[in-house]
Amino acid sequence: MKVGIASGSYIFTAGFIHDASLEERDSKQHRFELLDAPLKYYEPFPQEFLIWFIERAGYYHKKYGLYGIHTWLRPGDLEKPDYWEEVKRVMKENNIVFTHYGAPLTFTYTSEDYFRANYMPTIERHMALAEEIGCEIYNIAGPNTTWNRFRAYTLSMDKRLRLCSEHLRLMAQAATSYKFKFTIENHADYRVKEILKIVEMSGCDNILMNFDTGNAAIVVEDPVEVVKLVAPYTICAHIKDIKIDAPTYYGGRFLCTPIGKGDIDFRKIFEILADKSPSPSDLTLNIEPHTLEGIEDEIVDESLRYLKEELGDFLQN
């Protein structure tokens, strides 16, 4: 297994969650002082963030042998072809592989015809870009704030799963034109058995799994138990730790922590993946420790150090 990093580890830096003023953002350069790297806080433009993120991954490559990155891109990224030559150059300079291309959040409850006409043209453009920049995996995930099993919909669960399987089939069929592998992620939306049902109903045999350890816990699943179901299809994973405070007088809560500080048993999960995944030596474990703003570098460093020191017997890099 190889260790990578998902850009969700720097979700504030990327500008995806930040409503502070420019002055407040400029004052937060201290967040990078942990690292021996030039200090620069980028405004939340995805192009600038991606170059910064690759360079930061390059630092971790030197320190911990980091293999690659998983990041998601915005629709505007498709309009800047010259920029992607710069991305490839910076990737090469930092010895970093683009392991996962995070697709736009794609599932809806629309009809198959509507999805084909209104979503597939953009998805296919993203697939072409993923191929151009040498991504190993094209990963899709649902928009979990609106698309999840816990929302009270007028549609039955069976109807929702059927619609999603139709959309998944369109994407999986398009993916057969490219060299990358195609995965679906449990994105804190549906449970693993439900996602496997969507895959089965799609009728496609090229759909593999990006298993997220923390997302399983968030939909009230035991990650150790459900990884047994998906390990035969898992070619990559998001490594996220969760501290579960339940029950409490107010009900309970899930808190993201540095890897190793939560309640997820990573040794058992890695043992199952090492035994059951299609190609354990090629499996990329991308850390994604969502954390509080201002301490992202510290949490990433602590998480990578934990993997290297406590679970290094599973790792190649």
pLDDT above 70 (res 51): yes
pLDDT in tens, 77-105: 667 778 888 888 999 999 999 998 887 66
Residue ranges in the chain assigned as alpha helix (H) = 22-26, 46-64, 81-93, 112-118, 120-132, 157-175, 192-202, 213-218, 223-230, 266-276, 296-310
241, 288 in Cβ contact below 8 A?
A: no
Kind of pairing, strands 241-245 and 253-257? antiparallel
C-alpha 168 chain-centroid distance:
18
Interval 305-311 mean pLDDT: 96
Predicted confidence at residue 254, as pLDDT, reads 85
Q: How many CA atoms lie within 13 A of 265 on its CB side?
A: 10
Cα 10 to the chain's mean position, in Å? 12
pLDDT tens figures, 122-146:
889 889 988 988 999 999 988 776 6
* The pLDDT value given to residue 28: 43
pLDDT of 15 higher than 80: no
Please state the φ and ψ torsions of residue 83, each to the nearest 5 degrees.
-60, -35
Q: Residues 305, 289: contact at Cβ < 8 Å?
A: no
Question: 0.85 exceeded by the pTM?
Answer: yes
Name all domains of the chain by residue range, CATH numbers in brackets. Answer: 2-314 (3.20.20.150)
Q: SS3 helix, strand, coil % of the chain, rounded to 5?
A: 50, 15, 35
Residue 159, amino acid: K
Best CA proximity match to 83, nearest among 55, 47, 131? 47
